[in-house]
């Protein structure tokens, strides 16, 4: 049968369940875009910048059941998109990146956008496909989807040359997509060993990451069977209900909340699932090696990288946790700890920590504690929170409890500013019935904030809360004490009301603590009535988060003695003499 390459590609994308593509068309993708437009299943979404498009694809994969997909022009589209592809690559998020390719049938050189894209994509995607014939298109997209969604998921790159898209070619068949059912099981001997260790432990603790996000119910069951406190990574914050009495904090070590520090101090055995003990999760590796570590991950590369494990189990989080629960049940295991005293201690520590953020309402600025309290009370229980990277990230992670899996997302290990506005738009696209609140710093907002026009164009009533401190706050705070300067971390004046008007979103301002509740209610009301809304929050960043305190503490401690003296002397000199 004869089909154009564009038709074949769209057929394959439909078969693997794609619902949206993100990107900007160019001469190398107009046929693809036309075929996408004719699809009843797929809607191609126009973005302002492919970097935003990639953040959108990433966020759609995180918060919905269809895979985030890019449709971009060769080279320039790919280099722009790399920020979001990097997020997906380091956080294990499935994504399909379809780029047009220059003509392969003319023998011409120095074509527009001509570049070795496959080579460019190598360090930032799980696999790359440079398609050469019509017959390769469907099988390549199926294979790409399988790679993107299996093992540790990730982005996969596909180059589709423009001549294949444009012209008809003969294909042998149009096969339907049949998902690979192969599910390798975790090693039963290792499960047994882990169970023996859990049974012997006096104070086990769980630490879970994003890879366990769909195992939340099982993790709750296991934590309750063990009476074990639970901490999560930042990506994995929603992998365990934050209002559960056994939940402690995001992070492990000096940068985690006091409840997690208490549990860590007491633990004599740790079951870590789907975490790499990366820098953010551990607050710059600010903890002693976990005791009797059982490390579970789908990617065996992560074992023994940062902390040595006693037992490592390669496998999917859901399967491994289920297998452990089944074995414990078979042994009729019951713990002999006092669940009440453990949960009472965690409650006391968590409540005390939160109360430190509520030290009296201010008249001229917004305190993070009152803000997040009011936001939590007023948002629906199934609202999504999308965060960017900065000081606001850690405030949200410490002060806003999230109970439903995948309902809190943030750019974490690749840590790319600019994620939030596009990420929130895609989250709303994938979840039109749920509220979506974006929490973004003023600096990060300046990177991709104009994408609010996409929310307007597609009728997506996201609430964009901008924490306006006039600075790149997370960085300026680290400059202030040691350097007594804020080099390149003070932003110019930004007229957010003007930006709202210019992009067609509603505008609400929160200037002090007395206004928080009323203005949040107003924003939610506007959003519930179909209006995207920018909420400017005059935020008070004077109080440090645990993350900040912990990172400063552990890093300074590690400085060589002479360097420590030099830093302290320089700081004193700059603060005294200037
Ligand atoms: C693409 C990119 N550039 C620079 C950084 C370094 N960085 C991390 S947080 C931060 C400050 C963010 O400022 P803002 O968005 O205003 O958030 P705030 O910290 O003030 O809440 C910077 C510059 C980064 N993570 N990503
Ligand atoms: Mg800021």
475 lines ligand 1 (CB under 6 A): yes
The overall pTM is greater than 0.75: yes
CB 546 within 8 A of CB 350: no
511 lines ligand 1 (CB under 6 A): no
The DSSP result for 109-171, as a single string, is: SS-TT---HHHHHTTTSSEEEE--SHHHHHHHHHHHHHHHHSSS--EEEEEEEHHHHHSEEE-
Atom 20 of ligand 1, residue of closest alpha carbon: 473
Residues in the chain: 578
* C-alpha of residue 98 to centroid of ligand 1, in Å: 29
Give the closest ligand to the alpha carbon of residue 486. Answer: 1
295 lines ligand 1 (CB under 6 A): no
As a whole number of angstroms, the distance between CA 296 and CA 293 comes to: 10
pLDDT tens for the chain, residues 1 to 578: 999 999 999 999 999 999 999 999 999 999 999 999 999 999 999 999 999 999 999 999 999 999 999 999 999 999 999 999 999 999 999 999 999 999 999 999 999 889 999 999 999 999 999 999 999 999 999 999 999 999 999 999 999 999 999 999 999 899 999 998 777 899 999 999 999 999 999 999 999 999 999 999 999 999 999 999 999 999 999 999 999 999 999 999 999 999 999 999 999 999 999 999 999 999 999 999 999 999 999 999 999 999 999 999 999 999 999 999 999 999 999 999 999 999 999 999 999 999 999 999 999 999 999 999 999 999 999 999 999 999 999 999 999 999 999 999 999 999 999 999 999 999 999 999 999 999 999 999 999 999 999 999 999 999 999 999 999 999 998 888 788 888 899 998 999 999 999 999 999 999 999 999 999 999 999 999 999 999 999 999 999 999 989 988 888 888 888 888 888 889 888 888 87
CB 99 within 8 A of CB 73: yes
As a whole number of angstroms, the distance between CA 465 and CA 470 comes to: 14
Q: Token pair for residue 54?
A: 């990639």
Tell me which of 390, 439, 449 to substitute to probe ligand 1's pocket, judged by most ligand atoms within 8 Å of the beta carbon: 390
The three state secondary structure string of 454-523 is: HHHHCCCCCEEEEEECCECHHHHHHHHHHHCCCCCCECCCCCHHHHHHHHCCEEEEECCCCCHHHHHHHH
469 lines ligand 1 (CB under 6 A): yes
539 lines ligand 1 (CB under 6 A): no
* C-alpha of residue 443 to centroid of ligand 1, in Å: 6
513 lines ligand 1 (CB under 6 A): no
Strands (E), 289-401: 293-297, 311-314, 384-387
90 lines ligand 1 (CB under 6 A): no
């Amino acid at each position: 049968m004869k089909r154009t390459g564009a038709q074949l590609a769209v057929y394959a994308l439909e078969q693997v369940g794609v619902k949206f593509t993100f990107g900007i068309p160019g001469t190398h993708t107009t046929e693809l875009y036309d075929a996408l437009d004719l699809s009843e299943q797929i809607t191609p979404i126009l973005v302002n910048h492919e970097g935003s498009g990639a953040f959108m694809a990433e966020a759609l994969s995180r918060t919905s059941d269809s895979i985030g997909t890019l449709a971009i022009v060769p080279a320039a589209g790919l280099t722009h998109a790399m920020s979001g592809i990097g997020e997906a690559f380091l956080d294990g998020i499935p994504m399909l990146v379809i780029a047009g390719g220059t003509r392969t049938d003319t023998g011409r050189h120095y074509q527009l956008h001509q570049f070795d894209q496959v080579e460019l994509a190598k360090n930032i995607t799980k696999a790359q496909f440079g398609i050469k014939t019509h017959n390769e298109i469907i099988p390549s997209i199926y294979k790409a989807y399988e790679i993107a969604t299996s093992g540790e998921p990730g982005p996969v790159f596909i180059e589709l040359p423009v001549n294949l898209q444009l012209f008809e070619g003969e294909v042998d068949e149009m096969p339907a997509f049949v998902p690979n059912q192969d599910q390798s099981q975790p090693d039963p001997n290792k499960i047994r060993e882990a169970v023996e260790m859990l049974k012997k432990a006096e104070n086990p603790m769980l630490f879970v990451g994003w890879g366990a996000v769909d195992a939340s119910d099982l993790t709750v069951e296991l934590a309750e069977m063990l009476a074990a406190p639970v901490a999560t990574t930042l990506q994995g914050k929603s992998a365990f209900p934050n209002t559960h009495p056994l939940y402690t904090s995001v992070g492990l070590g000096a940068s985690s909340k006091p409840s997690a520090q208490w549990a860590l101090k007491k633990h004599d055995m740790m079951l870590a699932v789907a975490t790499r003990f990366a820098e953010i999760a551990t607050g710059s590796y600010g903890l002693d090696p976990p005791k009797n570590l059982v490390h579970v991950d789908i990617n065996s590369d992560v074992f023994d990288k940062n902390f040595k494990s006693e037992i490592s189990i390669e496998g999917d989080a859901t399967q491994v946790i289920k297998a452990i629960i089944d074995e414990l049940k078979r042994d009729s295991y019951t713990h002999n700890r006092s669940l009440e005293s453990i949960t009472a201690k965690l409650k006391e520590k968590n409540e005390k920590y939160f109360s430190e953020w509520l030290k009296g309402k201010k008249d001229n600025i917004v305190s993070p504690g009152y803000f997040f309290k009011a936001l939590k009370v007023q948002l629906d229980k199934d609202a999504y929170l999308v965060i960017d990277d900065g000081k606001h990230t850690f405030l949200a992670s410490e002060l806003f409890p999230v109970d439903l899996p995948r309902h809190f997302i943030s750019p974490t290990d690749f840590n790319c500013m600019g994620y939030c506005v596009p990420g929130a738009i895609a989250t709303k696209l994938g979840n039109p019935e749920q509220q979506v609140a974006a929490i973004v710093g003023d600096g990060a907002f300046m990177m991709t904030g104009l994408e609010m026009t996409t929310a307007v164009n597609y009728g997506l009533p996201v609430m964009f809360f901008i924490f306006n401190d006039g600075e790149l706050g997370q960085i300026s705070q680290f400059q202030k004490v040691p350097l007594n300067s804020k080099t390149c971390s003070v932003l110019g004046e930004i007229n957010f009301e003007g930006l709202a008007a210019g992009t067609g979103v509603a505008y609400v301002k929160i200037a002090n603590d007395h206004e928080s509740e009323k203005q949040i209610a107003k924003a939610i009301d506007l959003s519930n009535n179909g209006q995207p809304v920018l909420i400017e929050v005059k935020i008070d960043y004077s109080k440090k988060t645990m993350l900040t305190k912990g990172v400063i503490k552990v890093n300074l401690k590690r400085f060589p003695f002479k360097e420590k003296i030099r830093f302290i002397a320089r700081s004193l000199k700059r603060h005294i003499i200037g």
